[in-house]
Structure 1
């Protein structure tokens, strides 16, 4: 560890004793754990580059880590890696309101950016539920979404430029001028969502938006989850594009009402919808009336708009505790993250309910219903022999349903180690081989975050050989 410590201006910014490393043996995917070799805390891009070059030259596996809020195991040190923690690189470097952009370091917390600029009339749109603590660098790695991605898109839609340390220690800039669509290959799109397997982001240029003139939220209770699901499709079909359209089922409601921010949801309700619209103030009331009408045509028990900002904020605080709130009703839970066409929502929820019965495990459903991003939460007790394995199998079955109806296996949480084998639900061996070939261009020696994102080799090596033989005749 002496060699690593010499690369840091702060010689104390390194951990290597076992008792210190235990805190870094997993991220938000706690089912799998593995200790790192060491954890280092660089304060600058140059320090990151020196550390990476040292690891590369000494064949030491390494990976980057932000706040550790990831839910798919992307920051777990499977190979006794050196963890390069980015939490000390947390500066807001620049705010350019004229060009509606800001420059941040990767350890800068998501919500802090909006808090910093909201009084000046601007905000940062991507809003994962963990935005109060997750870092923008981690958001880039996972291409994080959030409640408002229906209208505003996910992280990749708000990234204008990146500074990147490649796995050999070279520093490169992509989109250095912050132009939305530069010519050439879309390297910003390639890096965003690559789950820390192509390089380590050290600086980020993000797009910031003007605060909407008006904003209003509607809450709707349904006695039948299918009525709520149909209301989701009806709202979009009516030509309304809400800023957010969220749904929770009965088990999820039980959790959030037992946790930190209860709002008094009825205990016997089957589903709750939260629908938020924003934009030009003059059109908000008309959209709200349309939404109220749609819900009433779908047998809603109760539907109403928030009476003031305090009530609106309380509803959203309740929703955003959704994942953590499951700890109030279950010793353990596994969060899944599939995507489906909106029209398939009733069918998929029926099939998830059957999976719950088949595995004899409760499954709570919390989802960004507007864009079909589902989050089945499999509730289990790891102290009961075999229940962890059952939970993993049930989660995989939920993802298979999503793939079967024309969806995919992740919308915002990433693949990490959690969904590696499930990549086969949506990609052929040939397609997986093509993607691992791209990775090898950047990460030639596969020292950076190895074992993540792609499934075990199986036929991939054979496919590559077959492709090569066809090319060379």
Structure 2
């Protein structure tokens, strides 16, 4: 859009929101030019609505001027889901932070999209409840971003993902229409399930402004196990044994030997036994007496070839000590190379060992440092290719390794993304997993919700000629 034409758009936005919440200076444009990916595209402006009504007003202006809008929470995503496109305006929800209703009796909470995810859980726990989805960015990410990507975390193995806790939504579509999806009760089958459609749609169908979430009673007790093995094969076999027996752990996390080497180099794993090549973090929660029963069952399943050590903790300080190595991992692997290509592929749990072995072969054959860890109980492996972006040969090898990774994941019956989403980074790979008729239905849904392609264009779905 020409500078003079956009000046009139800015005036309309300022009339609707006030000049303090419409920023078009270079500093603001650069600050919102990217999410947690290395790519960058400065928007024309950044706007900060404070209410559902203001979001509708922004959408109406966008429709009049065919202005692309990119919704943004905390910008912590790593697939380019909040990456602006040329000529776009970023709609930041960080000023929409109201708790609209908290109903402990019915175990629900209704919030605006800018509420920090961790704050929802803290408020719930003040009344003996909790909000189960626990992405690693929970202390600062916002619920709107979690809704957009259907975020999860370690507790997903027992409790499920964001979509499983959304009862209803209020949103504005790309036509400017206000829609209400779902209901405030735990049961309801009136009409199509638009709630589950919008959750995970990455801001391409509607701007979600409010969400009613389901809460659960907080478990009274928790036990944590740190289990060390002499290789990934026996560790993955233990994961399969755990997931075959009746007790579902509340967390089941995996780290491969490259991850362990990284945390050793960072000085965060000095107490791991010699020869540790794979590590599992396993948790059980519930009533104190039942946690003891669960823990005994989990310990029995974790026993087997390759086991080097099994430590247990129950008091908070001891639990924190056992988790310290896992929590230090993200920082530790950044010492390997400046750029992390972070994939979150998923395979059936029974095929996890095959995937880990394939990742090892990719690292060896394509001479790439690859660190693998993740939510083993879901078969969700975070495969981190550590590369130097100024090394053209290494980047070419990384791209080939990535393509081969995706091909193997699909051969094993898996999927390309478990919780990070598609964004810009994976959209061109979607035809590997989705057939043309399925993609055609998705494009038709997009056209129904957003006929002018104004909401987060260039994300999720590949171009129609693919």
- TM bucket normalised to smaller: over 0.9
Q: Which residue of 2 aligns with 1:177?
A: 184
Question: In structure 1, what is the equivalent of residue 80 of structure 2?
Answer: 73
1:315 matched residue in structure 2: 322
1: distance between equivalents of 2:338 and 2:376? 27
Offset of residue 103 of structure 1: 0.9
Match of 1:3 in 2: 11
Which of 444, 453, 457 in structure 2 is aligned with 1:450? 457
Range with bigger deviation, 368-377 or 313-322: 313-322
SS at match of 2:71: strand
Aligned residues: 458
1:365-400 deviation digits (Å, cap 9, x = unpaired): 111000111110101112323433433432332222
Q: Which residue does 2:36 correspond to in 1? A: 28
For residues 56-105 of structure 1, the C-alpha deviation after alignment (integer angstroms, 9 at most, x for no partner) is 11111111111001111111112331110001111222210000010111
Given the alignment of the two structures, is residue 146 of structure 1 paired with residue 165 of structure 2, yes or no? no
State which of 53, 70, 76 in structure 2 corresponds to 1:63. 70
Task: Using the TM superposition, name which of 109-118 and 228-237 deviates more.
Answer: 109-118
Residue 278 (structure 1) shift: 1.1
Task: Say whether residues 1:382 and 2:382 are aligned partners.
Answer: no
Q: Cα deviation per residue 1:120-139 (whole Å; 9 max; x = unaligned)? A: 21111000111111111100
1:259 shift after superposition: 5.4
Tell me the residue number matched to 2:220.
213
Show the counterpart of 1:279.
286
- Aligned position for 1:360: 367
Which stretches in structure 2 are left out of the alignment for 5+ residues? 1-6
Cα deviation code 1:243-263 (max 9, x no counterpart): 111001122123345559667
Q: TM-score, normalised by structure 1?
A: 0.92
Instruction: Classify the secondary structure of the residue corresponding to 2:226.
Output: strand
In 2: Cα distance, 1:375 partner to 1:80 partner: 33
**What CA distance in whole angstroms lies between the structure 2 residues aligned with 1:261 and 1:54?**
52
- TM-score, normalised to structure 2, is 0.94
Measured in 2, the distance between the counterparts of 1:114 and 1:260 equals 32
Match of 2:22 among 14, 30, 42: 14
Partner of 2:169: 162
Q: Of the candidates 435, 448, 465, which is equivalent to residue 428 of structure 1?
A: 435
Indicate yes or no: 2:262 matched with 1:255.
yes
Q: Name 2:106's counterpart in structure 1.
A: 99
Question: Against the structure 1 CA distance between its residues 151 and 446, is the aligned structure 2 distance closer, same or farther, given a 3 Å change threshold?
Answer: same
The structure-2 alpha-carbon separation of the partners of 1:97 and 1:134, relative to structure 1 and needing over 3 Å to count, comes to same
Residue among 396, 400, 420 paired with 1:413: 420
CA distance in 1, matches of 2:146, 2:330: 18
Q: Give unmatched runs, 5+ long, in structure 1.
A: 460-473
Q: Who is 2:345 aligned against?
A: 338
1: CA distance, partners of 2:138 / 2:465? 37
